[in-house]
Amino acid sequence: MKSRAGIITVILSAVLFTVLFFKQPQGLNLLIFELLYFIWLIAARQISYRNRNMITAVAGFLVTAIFTVITYSVFIYIMNYVALLILVGMLIYPQAKSFINACTLSLSNLFSSQLRFISEFSASGSNVKQTGRKLQRSLIFIIPIIIILIFIALYRSSNPVFDKLIGNIVDPVADALVYIFRNINFRIVGRLIFGLFFSNFRIL
């Protein structure tokens, strides 16, 4: 998989995951998400139709996905996740003769895929690399700024006149930052991060 195409696919999948599952129950949304994943597998030619184990894994994945809508039971959700683990394992190593081996490979991919995403993202283009270099250079100025801010805070606590002067400048900025963070929905951010984690596992 090409780095740029893989990154775009992962990000789109994470956004879709967030839209479908934020404050929404599983079941139909899970079925929609997994059907779209299956369509992507076909379009990307990830499925080997001559591999019996892979076809069995695909069948188990689709059947359990359909039954999540029919039964809405915890058991079928667990079976669906196990089927997904096996399918991803078969996609990683189609020559696997055992579903247990496929599941083991899938579990190892759960964490290694996150490292691959970071690596591919950092190497996806010159703009990303240039941004990384600029961030590294900016670290030279961060430590002196932190030291200055500490001295300002200490001097404010001991000098009421200076405290009032600085407060007229700093307090509006602090209020603006508080307003921004107060209006950020961290549940959406958390769901998006989890969506990235889950999408990396399935795609990369």
**pLDDT value at 190 more than 60:** yes
**pLDDT value at 102 more than 80:** yes
pTM over the 0.85 mark? no
Which of the four pLDDT bands, split at 50, 70 and 90, describes residue 192?
A: confident
37 with 202: CB under 8 angstroms?
yes
Query: Each residue of 29-75: pLDDT tens digit?
Result: 888 888 999 998 898 888 888 889 999 999 999 999 999 888 888 89
**Quick one: three-class SS letters along the chain?**
CCHHHHHHHHHHHHHHHHHHHCCCCCCHHHHHHHHHHHHHHHHCCCCCCCCHHHHHHHHHHHHHHHHHHHHCCHHHHHHHHHHHHHHHHHHHCCCCCCHHHHHHHHHHHHHHHHHHHHHHHHCCCHHHHHHHHHHHHHHHHHHHHHHHHHHHHHHHHHCHHHHHHHHHHHHHHHHHHHHHHHCCCHHHHHHHHHHHHHHHHHHC
Q: Report CA 115 to chain centroid distance, whole Å.
A: 12
Q: What is the mean pLDDT of the chain?
A: 79
Which of the four pLDDT bands, split at 50, 70 and 90, describes residue 112?
A: confident
Residue 73's alpha-carbon distances to 26, 45, 69, 77, 105, in angstroms, are 10, 32, 9, 7, 27
Spatial distance between the Cα atoms of 171 and 74, rounded to a whole number of angstroms:
50
Spatial distance between the Cα atoms of 101 and 78, rounded to a whole number of angstroms:
19
pLDDT recorded at residue 61: 92
Percentage, residues of the chain above pLDDT 90: 12
Query: Each residue of 125-176: pLDDT tens digit?
Result: 545 556 556 655 665 666 677 777 777 777 777 777 777 777 777 777 667 7
